[in-house]
Structure 1
Amino acid sequence: MNNIQSGILESTPPVARYLIFSLTDHGDARRSLRALCDMADGRQTVVGLGQSLVRALGATVPGLRTFPSYAGAGFDVPSTPFALWCWLRGDDRGELLHRARRITHALMPAFRLDQVIDAFTYGTARDLTGYEDGTENPKDERALEVAIVRGQGAGLDGSSFVAVQQWVHDLDRFEAKSTQEQDNTIGRRRIGNDELEDAPPSAHVKRATQESFDPAAFMLRRSMPWADDSREGLVFVAFGASFDAFEAVLRRMVGAEDGIADALFTFTRPISGAFFWCPGMQDGRLDLRLLGV
């Protein structure tokens, strides 16, 4: 456990802030990353590195790749790669704000802050639609097996891969559906969270049930609702020992296998999508030995 960013395995916090950076100065990147290593504890601040940053450092992380893009009937799943992702976890928005400022200043001028997303826990880990999120999340030892790289050698063991998407909900459209239509969209009952045996094939549960894939497509999801002055939705975050499970589920959601798109697309859409590698820890610091940092 000492070589893992432990925030990956912990439940979602009351509040969070996501910082997304692009690389602006290759020559100063290593200095900035060393400063980040001193600040990120892996628990309250979880860090992920994008493929462009790894390549800029002349390095390779086996398994790290670019997020795929898809176009379906009336919807798009975009690929929006970034260099660096920080997930700030806590219970005080003011403390998160000041921590974000410290990290941003430490990374300058090599990195530019491109986006900030504030997120929060709603009820008992519910999406803003009111439905429970992450129902089938693996737990304990199984969570370790699913989310953490093992047996691949120093510098890679203890790390994880994460898929991150920002989804924007049209809650007016969702709330205009009848209760039965809403349940059929998700594939579960909002009251009680029971799975519908007769849910339509487009229901999200039918599209994304992890055991229905061969091999099973288990992920450790740590998604959180977000909102700003005019929009709201879900920051989808899924950790894995590889991206294979996420990509398998996404292909089925967009209908790449059978032409049936996930009913989620009737009221929500992703506006971003990126893959990151979350390094392990060594002596309380991010382990970036694969990158020569």
Structure 2
Amino acid sequence: MKGGLMSGAKPQELAQPILGVPAKSAIYLTVTVRAGSEQAVREGLADVPGLKRSVGFRVPETGLSCVTGIGSRFWDRAYADLPRPSGLHPFIALTGSVHTAVSTPGDVFFHLRASQPDMCFELARQLMLHFDGMVDVEDEVYGFRYFDERDLLGFVDGTENPEPPVDDITAALIADDPLYNGGSYLVVQKYLHNMSAWDALPVEEQERVVGRTKLSDIELPDDVKPSNSHVALNVIEDADGNELQIVRDNLPFGRVGQSEFGTYFISYAADPAVTEQMLTNMFIGNPPGNYDRILDFSTAVTGCLFFVPPIGLLDDPESYADLPAEPCKSTNSTHSSRTDGSLGIGSLKRSGQK
């Protein structure tokens, strides 16, 4: 075995614990790395699975897990001896006619999940002790399961995730790059909801904004569902009419004393261009100007893109540097992010079917 790569290994055998049943609790932790600490953090990331085991072993039935993502700027600073993953770049801000998807700092991202919040908290504490003096926390969000997988707007979230055990692997994990098989691309955004404005809408109007019934979670018929509904703008196809999917792991969060209510959007994809096209549809509109109406009630206040390396790369990045690199070919999308920073918008089309 070289660099954690096993001949003939399936992507899921090389991957970090990206896939799994929805967790009841999560911590989303975004940090930046202090200048001069790049090598120490690179070496310290190899210890993260051990920290997870030490915490998780105490209450194993909680299913504690940790996924680590690496941002573009930190990759260039700490992994210059390795080929840059083909889809890794800074999150590209999107400015529509009304709403903006902002781009915010993030060098390393930790996605902690468990069935109990204390397990996530303890692992987050141990991570910060481990990287003390090396990193600064840019964003820290505590997510929780809300009733039957609903967000704070009252709708079920994540209904259209691909079906396991095969479809979610295809959507989330890289399978055609010998160097980075089992890797994934992670897009995160923190949305804050205007609950007063949302609650003032009749339920029927809320359903038209989302594109689903609120109680039963049934998608509205095409002749009823508006073209600017959240569901309509998040269904995209490739040139051959195949629906392109991502794996979401969103959870709500909030602080009632500060009147803060939100949803933490988290997307795993084998090709980040799929998520980027969905966000383009939402913020720019499809066609332009026909933006996602849910944005009138939910504001994105963060935006980051990370590469989630195969577990072997975090354990032993030096051995990956000895392997021959081949260009990564995408099987999920007909376009990818370009070196000039554009998204190649227009190469995907939206379908009214789901």
TM-score of the superposed pair, with normalisation by structure 2: 0.76
1:32 aligns with 2:44: yes
Task: Tell me which amino acid in the other structure corresponds to 1:26.
Answer: E
Structure with the greater alpha carbon radius of gyration: 2
Match of residue 207 from structure 1? 233
Task: Tell me which amino acid in the other structure corresponds to 2:266.
Answer: V
Q: Which of 223, 227, 247 is the aligned partner of 2:254? A: 227
Task: Tell me which amino acid in the other structure corresponds to 1:107.
Answer: F
Aligned pairs for 1:85-164 (under 5 A) are 85-139=109-163, 140-154=165-179, 156-164=180-188
Q: Give the paired residue count.
A: 290
Match of residue 274 from structure 1? 304
- Over residues 236-270 of structure 1, what are the superposed CA-to-partner deviations in whole Å (9 max), with x where a residue is unaligned? 01110010111111111123441201011111110
Match of residue 5 from structure 1? 16
Partners in 1 of 2:67 and 2:122 — Cα distance?
A: 16
8 Å Cα contact 1:148/1:160 also seen in 2: yes
Task: Tell me which amino acid in the other structure corresponds to 1:177.
Answer: L
Match of residue 33 from structure 2? 23
1:2 aligned counterpart, secondary structure:
helix
Q: Which runs of 5+ in 2 are unaligned?
A: 1-11, 54-62, 322-354
Q: CA deviation at 1:286?
A: 4.7
Task: Tell me which amino acid in the other structure corresponds to 1:39.
Answer: L
Q: 1:287 to 1:189 in 2, by over 3 A?
A: farther
Match of residue 343 from structure 2? none
Match of residue 255 from structure 1? 284
1:253 aligned counterpart, secondary structure:
helix
Q: CA deviation at 1:199?
A: 1.4
- Over residues 111-162 of structure 1, what are the superposed CA-to-partner deviations in whole Å (9 max), with x where a residue is unaligned? 22222110011112111111111111112201111100112113x1111111
Q: CA deviation at 1:98?
A: 1.8
Partners in 2 of 1:89 and 1:238 — Cα distance?
A: 15
Match of residue 99 from structure 2? 75
Partners in 1 of 2:77 and 2:52 — Cα distance?
A: 21
8 Å Cα contact 1:217/1:246 also seen in 2: no
1:158 aligned counterpart, secondary structure:
coil
8 Å Cα contact 2:192/2:262 also seen in 1: yes
Partners in 2 of 1:191 and 1:92 — Cα distance?
A: 27
Partners in 1 of 2:316 and 2:196 — Cα distance?
A: 45
8 Å Cα contact 1:137/1:219 also seen in 2: yes
- Over residues 68-93 of structure 1, what are the superposed CA-to-partner deviations in whole Å (9 max), with x where a residue is unaligned? 11222332210113100001111222
Partners in 1 of 2:199 and 2:185 — Cα distance?
A: 34
Match of residue 53 from structure 1? 74
Q: 1:222 to 1:247 in 2, by over 3 A?
A: same
Q: CA RMSD in A?
A: 2.3
8 Å Cα contact 2:64/2:120 also seen in 1: no
TM-score of the superposed pair, with normalisation by structure 1: 0.91
Partners in 2 of 1:152 and 1:11 — Cα distance?
A: 27
1:217 aligns with 2:244: yes
Partners in 2 of 1:165 and 1:79 — Cα distance?
A: 9
Task: Tell me which amino acid in the other structure corresponds to 1:28.
Answer: A
Residue identity (%): 23
Q: 1:27 to 1:209 in 2, by over 3 A?
A: closer
